[in-house]
Amino acid sequence: MKNSIKLVLVIFMLLSIISCGGSYLIKYSLKDPIPNNNLVFSDTNVDLSFSIDEKLINFTLKNKSDKSIRIIWDEVQFVDLLNETSPICHKGISLKLAINLISQPPSVVFKGTTYNDYLIPIKNLFLYKDFLTKQDEVGIKNLIKINTDEDIEFFKGRVLGLYFPIEFEGEKKVYIFSFKIEDIFEETSKKKSSKKK
């Protein structure tokens, strides 16, 4: 038994070492609807700010209107670099349920309040068997997979999108956001990867 555990630990450590590549930070700008480098949007009804991680899109929404609003999760779509869409899940939904494309109830944001959440494209979810517990677990793929310097050059200037419907007392308004990849940095060295040759 002890030998089996040691073998599993050795294999796990080897796999960790082998899979350790460079880690990258990606700088995005908001391309549409109003271009800016801060990933923020504002109109008469809402203030929205975004931050994009390796695996998900974080956002904060402030309801500036005089009505409660609803985020219609079943209609929110992520658009990847190949212009392919995917439904999303958010923090209120179990990833194990989301992977099976269950319906997600709308989130209500009352007038004058702020709502924080994140979005994960459902197509980036995958099942795997946990070594120790033997249970099915859900993993999340990166929004963008970078393996080589050629990938860096290929991805720079490309665009991710978000189709984001919000309902204002029965009236739906669709916000469409485009996030442009401005630059990619190698996290370990803190130097611009694009300058490496």
Residues linked to residue 120 through DSSP beta bridges, in sequence order: 89
Q: What is the pTM of this model?
A: 0.77
What is the distance between the alpha carbons of residues 129 and 61, in angstroms, rounded to a whole number?
A: 36
On whether the CB atoms of residues 171 and 127 are closer than 8 A, the answer is no
Angle, alpha carbons 63-69-71 (nearest 5°): 105
As given in the structure block, the two tokens for residue 120 are 């994960």
* Res 188: pLDDT: 63
Reading the chain (197 residues) residue by residue, the pLDDT tens digits are 544 444 343 334 333 333 334 578 889 999 999 999 999 999 999 999 999 999 999 999 999 999 999 999 999 999 998 899 999 989 877 777 777 777 888 999 999 999 999 999 999 898 888 777 778 888 899 888 888 778 888 888 999 999 999 999 889 999 999 999 998 887 764 444 444 43
Q: Scan for tokens 């700008």, then name that residue.
A: 29
